[in-house]
Structure 1
Amino acid sequence: MPDYIVRDINLAPAGRLKIDWVRAHMPVLNAIREEFERERPFQGLRVALSIHLEAKTAYLAEVIRAGGADLAVTGSNPLSTQDDVAAALAAAGMKVYAWYNATSREYKDHLLHVLDCRPQIIIDDGGDLVNLLHTVRREQAAEVIGGCEETTTGVRRLEALNREGKLLFPMLAVNDAFCKFLFDNRYGTGESALSAIMRTTNLVVAGKDVVVMGYGWCGKGVAMRAGGLGARVIVCEVDPVRAIEACMDGYRVMSSEEAAGVGDIFVTVTGCRDVLGRRHFTRMKDGAILANAGHFDVEINKQELAGLAQSHSQARQNIEQYSLPDGRRIYLLAEGRLVNLAAGDGHPAEIMDMSFGIQALSARYIKDNAGAMDKKLYRVPELIDRRVASLKLKSLGIEIDRLTSDQQSYLNDWQQ
C-alpha cells in the first residue's frame, strides 16, 4: 500500500505546479540543493518534518531529501496544509501524512505517523514533534540526534524545556537566526498577513485603524505594511521598551482596552494566549475584524467571543460572523488560526528562501556535530547566517565590500 495519508492523490499535478513555481524563485535553496545532491549529507538518516505544508515548505522537504534523507512529512497547523501540495509530495514517493482542516484527532495521528518512522533529525514548526517526543513518544527521544525549530512559539516552548533542564536532545533555534527574524518575521509576516486579510475580506486597509497586538519582529512587520497601505496604526504592548520603540516609529501606542474601542482591524502577533477577550469584544465597533498572525489559535479567545454572541454564522469563506445582542457584528478570520497560511499562501517565496536555507544548513550542522552537542537549545551559528546572506546577495547580483587586513587588525587591536 502507498505510504501516505493525503486527501486526494489526484490533486498532485496542481501541487507540482505550485512547487515548481516557488523553486524558480528560491535561488538560495537551489544552491544548497546542488550541494546536497553532490555530497549527500543525510544519506542513511531518517528525518521528520512538521511544517506548514504548502509549496515553499514542500520544496524545503525536497531539498532535504536530495541530501539522501529518508523523509517523513506532516503539517504543523490543521488549516495551513494545502491538499494539492501534500499530494504532489506523496506522488513523488515521499512519506506524507497531512490534509487540510484535520480534526484534532486526525492532526495528532498525522504527527504520530511521522514519528512512527523513528526520526533521527527533526525539523519542527511550533514544537508539536518535540512535545510528543517529550511525552507520549518519550522512548524515541534517545534516537534523535537533534533538530531545528522554525518559529517563535516553538522556540518559547523549547526555552521552557531548556530552563528546566528537561530537553532530551539538542535543538537549534532557527527562528532566532538573523536571516530568519530580520527578514522572515518582519517582511514575510507583514506582507503575508495583510495580503491574507485583504484577500479574505476584499476590503480596503487604507483609512482604517489597524491595531497590532505585539511589537516584536512580526508585529513590526505588520505595523509597517499596514502603515504603508494607508492605515492609521495603533500598537499595544506589555514591554515598555518595545512600546517606546513603536511610539518613536510613529505609531500610536495605547492599552488594549482603549484600542478595542478604536480599531477597525485587529491583528494579534504575540505568541501568548487571550490577547483579545471578553473585555475587548464588549468595546469593539460594529464590523470589527479580528485576525491572528501567531502560531496557535489561542491569542483570540474564541470561547469568550462565542459566549457573548447571540448567533454565529459563516459570512464568507474563512470569515465567521459573531452577532452580539446589541446588534454589533464581530468578524473572525480563519477561525483565529494563523491567518497568512490558513487564509493565504504564507510568506513570499523570496523571503522563505532565506529562512529555509537556514533550516537546511542547520539540519546539516546537527548531522555534522552528532554526539558533540549537549542536550540544550543552541543559537544558529553565525557562519550559517552569513552564508545564507551571501548566497542571497549573489542571487541578486549585489557585491559588497570586504575589510582589508589593516582594517581587520585595527578593529581587533585594543591598543589602537
Structure 2
Amino acid sequence: MKEKDYAVKDIKLAKQGQERIEWARRHMPVLGKIKEEFEKAKPLKGVNVIACLHVTVETANLIEALIAGGANVALTASNPLSTQDDVAAALAKKGVKVYAIRGEDEKQYYENIESALKIKPNITLDDGADVIATVHSKHKEYLKSIYGGCEETTTGVIRLRAMAKDKALKYPVVAVNDAETKMMFDNRYGTGQSTLHGIINATNVLLAGKTVVVVGYGWCGRGCASRAKGMGSNVVVVEINARKALEAAMDGFQVMDMKEAAKVGDIFITVTGDIAVIRGEHFKLMKDQAIVCNSGHFNVELALDELKKMSKSVTTVKADVDEYLLKGGNRIYVLGEGRLVNLACAFGHPPEVMDMSFANQALCVKYIAENHKKLKNDVYKVPEEIDTRVAEMKLESMGIKLEKLTKEQEKYLSSWSMGT
C-alpha cells in the first residue's frame, strides 16, 4: 500500500493493534459468525463503503467483516479523541484505507473525511452523521452513486430525521441506533459501564458516597445512572421529558432541574444529544472541585466557551483533566475536553455489546446493498428480522435457550373466543 492511502500516527504500532483486535474478536461471536457467512456469499462484492466511526478494536472487527463480504472500505474517525492509534495502524498495514489520528484538530478531522470520500462510496456508515452532512453540503457529486447509509448514534439519528422532515435527505438511511439489540444494550450497558470507566481512569475518584448528576434519561442516561448507583453513588437525574423524569423517580433517583442539581453534584455526566445543557449559569453554582464530563456524541453538550470566560485560568493538571479556575476561586475539572469521556479517557464500550451493534451494522449494509432500489430518501428502522436474528444469535452464543409456545398456547394468543 502506498503511504498516501492512509494517515495514521505510527504504522509501527500495527503489531500491538492486531493483538488487541484479535482479543476483541474472541468476545464478538455474533459478528464472527456473520463474517463467516459473508466470506462464503460475498454479498458486498464491489460495494464501496465509507465508515466514519470510532476507530477501536471493535470497529476493526466490523471493517474486517465488511471486507470479507467483498466490500472496499475507507475508514475515518468520528471523533478526534476516540481513535486508538495502534488499531488504525493495524488496519492500514492490512491495506485498509484508514485516515484517523488521535488528537487531530478539526481541520485534520474534516480533511480525513475528504480523503476517505475519494473511495466514491455506495454506502455510508456514520457515528454522528458527519459524512452525510459533508456529502450533502460539500460533495453532492457523490449522491448519484450512494445507495444509502447507516447511522449508529442518537445524536446522528436526530439530525437525520430533521433532514428527512425538511426533505433535505437525499438518500435512505437505516437508524441502526434504534435497533433494540443496539439501543437497549450498547446504549445502556455499554455507555453505562464505559462512562464510569472513563471517569475513574481519568481521576481515580471514589464514586461511593458522591452525588452523580446524570443529565438525560434515555437509554444512555439509564445506563449511567444505574451503574453509578451500583458503585454507591447518590444519583440525581435532570430531564425535560415528563415521562422519563417520572420513570427516573420511580427507579429511585432524585429528579431536579439543572440549577438545583448544579448545587449538589460532585460529578456531572451529560447524555442528551443536545447543545449547551450545562451552561455558565450552572457552572457558577457548582461546588469547588466538581467534575464535569460528557458521554453524548458531540462536546457541544457542555458550554465550555462560557466556562472559559468565567475562569481566571485553564490548566491541564493531568492527562485528560483540565482545571478551570473560576474568578471566585472554585475549581471545575473537565474530562477529555468535554468529548466522549468513555472513549477519550478509556476504551469505549466492551466488545460483548458492540458485537450486537456491529452485527446490526453489517447486516444493514447487506440489506441496503440488496434493497436500495426499493427505498425512499427517508430514515428507516432496522428491519425486525435483522434485530431478532441478532438477538437469537447472541443468545445462542451465550448458551441460552428460548422457551417455545405449544400449539394450544399459540391458538389461545391468536383467538378472541377462548375466554379465560
> What TM-score comes out, normalization by structure 1 length?
0.99
Query: Which range moves more in the overlay, 402-411 or 48-57?
Result: 402-411
Paired residue for 1:218? Answer: 220
Once the two structures are superposed, what CA deviation does each residue of 1:121-154 show, in whole Å capped at 9, x if it has no partner? 1111100011011110112111110111011011
- Aligned pair 1:299/2:292, yes or no? no
Letter in 2 for 1:342: A
CA contact (8 A) 1:211 1:234 kept: yes
The runs of 5 or more residues in structure 2 that have no matched partner are none
- Aligned pair 1:187/2:186, yes or no? no
Paired residue for 1:345? Answer: 347
SS of match in other structure, 1:369: helix
How many residue pairs were aligned?
A: 416
The runs of 5 or more residues in structure 1 that have no matched partner are none
CA contact (8 A) 1:142 1:168 kept: no
Letter in 1 for 2:43: P
SS of match in other structure, 2:213: strand
Paired residue for 1:230? Answer: 232
Paired residue for 1:46? Answer: 48
- Aligned pair 1:24/2:22, yes or no? no
Once the two structures are superposed, what CA deviation does each residue of 1:70-107 show, in whole Å capped at 9, x if it has no partner? 11100000010111110000001111111111111100
Match of 1:312 among 311, 314, 322: 314
- Aligned pair 1:87/2:99, yes or no? no
Identity %: 50
Paired residue for 1:327? Answer: 329
Paired residue for 1:403? Answer: 405
Letter in 2 for 1:390: E
Q: Distance in 2 between matches of 1:403 and 1:165?
A: 44
Q: Distance in 1 between matches of 2:74 and 2:192?
A: 30
Query: Which consecutive aligned stretches of 4+ in structure 1 deviate over 3 angstroms post-superposition?
Result: 413-416
Paired residue for 2:261? Answer: 259
Q: Distance in 1 between matches of 2:269 and 2:26?
A: 32
Q: Distance in 1 between matches of 2:165 and 2:404?
A: 39
SS of match in other structure, 1:310: strand
Letter in 2 for 1:8: D
Q: Distance in 2 between matches of 1:372 and 1:114?
A: 27
Query: Which range moves more in the overlay, 300-309 or 401-410?
Result: 401-410
Paired residue for 1:109? Answer: 111
CA contact (8 A) 1:172 1:378 kept: yes
Q: How many angstroms does 1:315 deviate by?
A: 1.0
SS of match in other structure, 1:355: helix
- Aligned pair 1:283/2:285, yes or no? yes
Paired residue for 2:162? Answer: 160
CA contact (8 A) 1:145 1:169 kept: yes
SS of match in other structure, 2:124: strand
Paired residue for 1:376? Answer: 378
SS of match in other structure, 1:266: strand
Q: Distance in 2 between matches of 1:17 and 1:409?
A: 53
Distance 1:165 1:414, change over 3 A: farther
Q: Distance in 1 between matches of 2:59 and 2:16?
A: 16
Q: How many angstroms does 1:18 deviate by?
A: 1.1
Match of 2:148 among 146, 149, 160: 146
SS of match in other structure, 1:122: strand
Q: Distance in 1 between matches of 2:212 and 2:237?
A: 9
Letter in 1 for 2:360: I
Q: RMSD in angstroms over aligned alpha carbons?
A: 0.9
CA contact (8 A) 1:213 1:266 kept: yes
Letter in 1 for 2:116: V
Q: Distance in 2 between matches of 1:279 and 1:4?
A: 44
Paired residue for 1:208? Answer: 210
